[in-house]
Structure 1
Amino acid sequence: MDSSPFKLLVLLSLLVSFQVANASLDRLHGPREFVPSSSISSLTRQLLEAVLLGDFNLANVTSILTAGADPNAYDENQMTALHWAVIKGQNETVKTLLARGAYTDALDASYRTPAHFLGIYGWGGPYPSILSSLYFAGANLNAGDQAHNTALHYAAMEGQTETARNLVAYGARLDVVNLWQHRTPYGMAVLENQTETAAALLQLVASLPPAQKSIAEQEVVNDVVPCQGSSCPGRCLTDQSNLRMGGSTWGCYQNNFFMGQQPVQEPQPPGPPQPEQQLGVIQGDVVT
């Protein structure tokens, strides 16, 4: 039997699915196509190079932005200037880029936001920090990457204990389960033998409400299954990080990469906000 028509049908369906998925993305926040070097403007190139020196070259960064450089332009690695400023730990540059319109939740090729790199490199120290700068600019600290790892997952994996504690103080959830390993941040710290960070996270887990604690204290959550049924929100149907919330109630974590206009607390407190002060819309949500 000639399978060519079937192969063609499969190819067309995949193409349509790709186009539909692409159409649903906010291209300003995360273009999916490769960015060739020839398409990167001279101003963008200057900005991307200037942020690598960051706070030591802040006047140059400001001048390039004033000259018209786009703070949300991507390089060949699908990284923005804000991604690089966070990676390099340049907080004044981060604040300058944010003030000039940089998107807090811009995505790289693996759906990582600048907050993910904050977790990786441990830039969540005492206030003021890159963590506080991103938070007050409206960053979603519970955004998941392609594998549904959050900034807290990364901090746990890398043994960034202080950053992990402060992420939680700013509203990062301890009960989020990633996609492939089905692990919580605590579980990832255990997996990577980050004993100090694992102990710190387990101590924080102890103060959670029972429903969240029952998930967050596990290394591996074995009941992670796709959300099913007419009561399941459409965005959750293919989300493998769904969790049973208890009894027969199912829910899913929404990874809000593209957040709307965020409220900002003024004046900024001298450190992490208390639970009653936290901006709930920023910390993500559980949809049931």
Structure 2
Amino acid sequence: MWYIMQSIQSKYSLSERLIRTIAAIRSFPRDNVEDLIGRGADVNCLHGTLKPLHCACMVADADCVELLLQKGAEVNALDGYKRTALHYAAEKDETCVEILLEYGADPNAPDGNEDTPLHWAAFKNNAECARALLAGGALVNALDYNRDTPLSWAAMKGNLESVSVLLDFGAEARVLNLKGQSPVARLLALLARGLGTEREDSCLELLHKAAGQLEVGRGSGLPREVARD
């Protein structure tokens, strides 16, 4: 049995075992992150599309995130998708977000689609992560490749908590994307498909107050905004 385990382990470098351990792939139950780093595992080595720090944020392991940063992980490094670790943390865990920001993470770093961490926090409705990002300098009206703001991403999902936080920080509810859609139009499209609940209705009320009067165009079933007088 010992020989078999040694044979399996010999197929992977220490750096490969590091990211497997972080991802909780239990091929090596005796491995631990600090020990692997101490034995020479590279904390900045890219494996497939991921780096160790990105992986730790994906599994929301705040202790591991801080350890990797203490051991020299590059806080603003990009993975294979041109995303920083903060993009993953923004979806998952407020503590990870705060640690990354403390170590100098760029709250406005764009990924390959020009999405910022705040876009992803809004889309996943992680309002506490959104709040931490905004407190750390994230631009509330940042634009992605389609010129959608984080508020638009939150609105298209009817994410009440994120919409509320973004509006509290001054998000603009009347910004139009490249298709001429505003955040309120995105939410109205959701409601027009019959997918709304009381939460989405409350979300619409918040956006209504921020953007002015709204109505849904009759006949076509498409949302239409009425400009505020």
TM-score, with structure 2 as normaliser:
0.67
Give the match for residue 52 of structure 2.
Answer: 46
Equivalent residue letter for 2:110: L
Once superposed, what is the RMSD of the aligned Cα atoms?
Answer: 2.7
> How far has the Cα of 1:49 moved from its partner?
1.7
Contact persistence 1:123–1:131 (CA under 8 A): yes
1:166 deviates by 2.2
1:239 is aligned to none
In structure 2, the CA distance between the partners of 1:164 and 1:217, relative to structure 1 (3 Å rule), is farther
Structure 1 position 41, deviation (Å): 3.4
Q: Who is 2:131 aligned against?
A: 132
SS of residue matched to 1:42: coil
Structure 2 gaps of 5+ residues are 1-42, 217-222
Distance, in Å, in 1 between the alignment partners of 2:188 and 2:85 is 33
Q: 1:85 aligns with which of 83, 89, 108?
A: 89
Q: Which residue identity is paired with 2:106? A: Y
Equivalent of 1:111 in 105, 109, 114: 114
* Residues 84/91 of structure 1: CA separation in 2 closer, same or farther (3 Å cut): same
The question of whether the paired residues in 2 share the 8 Å contact of 1:186 and 1:201 is answered with no
2:57 aligned counterpart, secondary structure: helix
Task: Tell which has more relative contact order, 1 or 2 (C-alpha 8 A, sep 6+).
Answer: 1
2:170 aligned with 1:142, yes or no? no
Query: Which TM-score applies when normalising by structure 1?
Result: 0.54
Contact 2:115-2:143 within 8 A present in 1 as well: yes
Amino acid at match of 2:164: R
- 2:205 is aligned with 1:203: yes
The residue type equivalent to 2:178 in the other structure is L
In 1: Cα distance, 2:225 partner to 2:72 partner: 48
Which one-letter code corresponds to 1:103 in the other structure? Answer: D
Please identify which structure carries the higher helix content: 2
Aligned to 1:169: 168
Unaligned runs of 5+ in 1: 1-39, 224-244, 247-288
Offset of residue 137 of structure 1: 0.4
Give a deviation string over 1:60-100, Cα, whole Å, max 9, x none. Answer: 2112111111110000011110001112x211011000000
Q: For residues 73 and 207 of structure 2, what CA distance do their matches in structure 1 show?
A: 44
1:170 Cα deviation from its structure 2 partner: 2.0
CA distance in 1 between counterparts of 2:209 and 2:87 reads: 33
Q: Greater Rg, structure 1 or structure 2?
A: 2
- Cα distance in 2 for residues equivalent to 1:76 and 1:99: 24
